[in-house]
Amino acid sequence: MSDDIRARVTELLPQIRQDLEDLVRIESVSADPARASEVQRSAEAVAELFRAEGFASVDIVSADGGAPAVIAHKPGPEGAPTVLLYAHHDVQPENDHAEWDSPPFEPTERGDRLYGRGAADDKAGIAAHLGALRVHGDDLPVSVTMFIEGEEEVGSDSLPALLAEHQEALRADVIVIADSGNWDIGEPALTTSLRGLVRVDVEVRTLTHAVHSGMWGGLVPDAIMTLTKLLSSLYDDEGALTIEGLHSQPAADVDYPEERLRAESGVAPGVEWVGRGPVVERLWTQPALTITGLDAPKVDGASNTLTAAARAKLSLRVAPGDTTTNALACLTEHLEKHVPWGAALTVTTVDTGEATQIDATGPAYDAARAAFTEAWDGTAPVDMGVGGSIPFIAEFLEAFPEASVLVTGVEDPDTRAHGANEGLHLAEFEKVVLAEAFLLRNLAAM
């Protein structure tokens, strides 16, 4: 049977790729209100693909004014497990077209990759699900529910309402979330942890209005020196966080070679790493804080004045096992304790998203590991952490606590999701489709 599945994937791959390319051509940028009609068109195209596969029900739904999602169901044998297959059809903005080597919404093959916005994240997730279903055709070994979201790239704000409103339709024994990646080309992975996120805007004020720097400098602290001193207090000399009370934990025992780290991170020559501990812990299971924006006078045209107020946006990645409530409290307490010279401090929460820690044991995970190992010709999957945040996974775990949640994906270290020249490694994509076809077969035995 394994050989039959392999042969079927090879046979179906050209059409799967064609369907993926058609989806990539739709500019479903959920962050752009001007392209809301494209997001709608994308949902309709996805729904039509499911109808063509003979799904018993296909619905385009939304909640709380959110973007359109697609829910579809295809029954399997009586008594077989139900598997929910998740992906999202919205994509990130393409930003400056000049940074792309080919038009972002025209899928283009160069070398071993297919380039285009959404070619990997996450329209390839949709295509992989469809490919696995087509392999089995009308002999589907399990019942399948498809849930293709339309606003993942803008935070999935309406997802809790969708899960609540359609809970019975989405209830499943196993949930496969195809929105992550693999450890490397030729090395598959199951994502078992993701960091959470706390974002805040921090403002310090030292003056009611700007004043002459010559007349008052040396006595009155300006807001920029105050803010930089406050921000410096967040790190020690090695670049490790000094915020007390944040949680961290060990990561999987995985080697991340120095050359690969430097190539994939884009770090400039000669720059040293920050923090302490194993590399994968610093990336996956320790908290990290990034200063992502500053509001202060521009250098060009700056006058000789003491700045009255300055702001910074802080992005705190929360380690698995911690909560956003605790992390926000620890960060706020640190800022209040360390703001210098009696400056007025304002901390405004922008948004939060919980970390995820998955107990990747049990029959569903055994079935997945066996499927991945078979698809990658004997290479077992790595249990991988992800330093970024996918808060909706925690929402799935909360909504369906009895389900086994498998986080898989089509990306690899050079996918460049969210950036220019996003690309899908075509040979790895074939293995992803093959692995999911094996997985559906294996889950039938649960």
Question: Is 139 a catalytic site residue?
Answer: no
Question: Are 320 and 195 spatial neighbours (Cβ–Cβ below 8 Å)?
Answer: yes
Question: Are 412 and 196 spatial neighbours (Cβ–Cβ below 8 Å)?
Answer: no
Q: Of the candidates 272, 256, 282, 277, which has an alpha carbon nearest to the alpha carbon of residue 413?
A: 256
Question: Are 173 and 76 spatial neighbours (Cβ–Cβ below 8 Å)?
Answer: no
Paired tokens of 82: 């139900």
338 DSSP β-pair partners: none
Q: In sequence order, which residues have a C-beta less than 8 Å from that of residue 175 and are 6 or more positions away?
A: 83, 84, 86, 396, 400, 403, 404, 405, 406
Question: Is 152 a catalytic site residue?
Answer: yes
Query: Which of the following is catalytic: 27, 90, 153, 281?
Result: 90
Give, for 353, the enclosing helix (H) or strand (E): strand 344-353
Residue 226 CA: distances (Å) to CA of 220, 404, 445? 10, 49, 63
Upstream peptide bond of 122 is cis (omega within 30 degrees of 0): yes
164: left (phi over 0), alpha (psi -120 to 50) or beta: alpha
Question: Are 133 and 15 spatial neighbours (Cβ–Cβ below 8 Å)?
Answer: no
Please count the other Cβ atoms lying within 10 Å of the Cβ belonging to residue 6: 17
What is the Rg, in whole angstroms, of the alpha carbon atoms belonging to the chain? Answer: 24
Query: Which of the following is catalytic: 53, 152, 374, 383?
Result: 152
Which residue numbers are catalytic?
90, 152
